[in-house]
Structure formats: structure tokens, C-alpha cells
Amino acid sequence: TFERMALKRGLFVVIEGADGTGKSTQVLNLTKRLQSEGYPCSSMRFPDRSTQIGGMIDSYLQCKSNLSDESVHLLFSANRWELKNQITNTLASGTSIICDRYAFSGVAYTSSKPGFSLCWCMGPDRGLPKPDLVLYLHASEKLAQSRSNYGTERYEKREFQNKVAEMFEEIRAVDKTLTWTDYTVERGIDEVTDDLFGILQKELNSNLVKEVGKLWME
């Protein structure tokens, strides 16, 4: 009800997972679902290709430009930092955020490249707003097979994606303070939205008054 919403900050939810697990689809559906259930909500995505830094990332991902692995890692992180105030202000205004990828993708993808430690990769993202909940989407066998033809973007190759999935598990193990929920995508789009909304509803109805945390600072 009105009273409940007026007292609370928004919930910061990040949807993560390897390429093609339906993240963008669910971010849009969940945002609409929350709004229709009366929870103020907006969506975000990383990389956000609409900024100047995002434009450089977009060109890199489409293999239209080359950057060193170190510099593109820092650009992905800078793209999050440039939107940090938008995140904190939105949450403070009582609006929840459903975010398509975040620092976990940043670390998982770069640390899958030879010669990159988890520690180096996590450095630039330390202190960003910490999600209240990470929903990690796993592809079922069926979904993975229907996607055997990966796209043409830079990281869309099977072996690399397997490594990325391993790195996500390592990242998760580093920080026991994160609320991280696994979900395997085995049903149709709308059923998946129902399931994910069910997971979120518990959190949305909890009395969230504590401040937004800082990622990887504990």
C-alpha cells in the first residue's frame, strides 16, 4: 500500500548469466510486472551503450574496433561508475531497479581471458552500489542446444562461454554477503517471469530500510 512504499527505498536487483539465457527479456518483463503490481520500478543495463563510453564498448563488442583487454575492462567499469548516481538516486526515491548485467559480468568476462586474476578484475568495481539480490540465470540443456549458433559479437563462442560460467561461480564464492539466487531457465518466457517475480516478491515486501551497500568492500 501507499504507506509501505513511501517508507522504503527501492530494491536493487541484478540479473546475471552467460550470453543468451534470456536476461534482457526478463529484465523488461519483470520491470513491467512490478509496475503493474504497484511497485515503482525502472530498468537499467550494462553495458549502457548510449553514453560516450558505452559507444566505445559497443564498437569493441561488434569487433569494429580493438582495445587492449585491460583498457576495455576499465571502460566497462567506468560505464557503471558514470551511472552510479542514477542508481543511488533512483533507489533513494523509492523506485526499484532491475538491472541487466553488472560488475559480476565485468569480472567474469575479463577473468576468463588468459593472465587476469580475479583480484585485479574486481578492483575497479569495488565500492559500486551493492545489489540486494543477484538472480543468476542458468541455461537448461534444451535452451543451450537451441542456441548452438552463437551470434557474431566478440564473446559469443562456446568455449569462452563455458569459462565465463566457471568464473561466475568463483566470483560468487568470494563474497558470502551477497544474496545470490540461481534459476534454471526451463520454461517459457512468461512462466519464467512468474517464477522470478515470485522470488522478488519476498524481498519487495521485506522492510527494506537499510542503506544500499558498497560492493566488495567488506
The residues of the shown chain that bind ligand T5A, judged by CB under 6 A, are 19-25, 46-47, 61, 76, 100-101, 105-106, 109, 143, 153, 155, 185, 188-189, 192
Q: How many residues bind Na ion (CB under 5 A)?
A: 1
Nearer to ligand T5A, 8 or 109 (CB): 109
CB of 56 to Na ion, least distance (A): 19
Query: From ligand T5A, Na ion, none, which one binds at residue 33 (CB under 5 to 8 Å depending on kind)?
Result: none
Nearer to Na ion, 24 or 42 (CB): 24
User: Helix/strand/coil (H, E, C) string of the chain?
Assistant: CHHHHHHCCCCEEEEEECCCCCHHHHHHHHHHHHHHCCCCEEEEECCCCCCHHHHHHHHHHCCCCCCCHHHHHHHHHHHHHCCHHHHHHHHHCCCEEEEECCHHHHHHHHHCCCCCCHHHHHHHHCCCEECCEEEEEEECHHHHHHCCCCCCCCCCCHHHHHHHHHHHHHHHHHCCCCCEEEEEECCCHHHHHHHHHHHHHHHHCCCCCCCCEECCCC
Chain positions 172 to 201 lying near Na ion, rule: CB under 5 A, are none
Q: Does 24 bind Na ion (CB under 5 A)?
A: yes
Nearer to ligand T5A, 11 or 18 (CB): 18
CB of 43 to ligand T5A, least distance (A): 12
Query: From ligand T5A, Na ion, none, which one binds at residue 174 (CB under 5 to 8 Å depending on kind)?
Result: none
CB of 61 to ligand T5A, least distance (A): 5
Nearer to Na ion, 30 or 204 (CB): 30
Q: What distance in Å separates the CA atoms of residue 100 and residue 72, rounded to the nearest whole number? A: 19
Query: From ligand T5A, Na ion, none, which one binds at residue 10 (CB under 5 to 8 Å depending on kind)?
Result: none
- Strands 133-139 and 180-185, by their bridges, are parallel
Provide the binding-site residues for Na ion, judged by CB under 5 A. 24
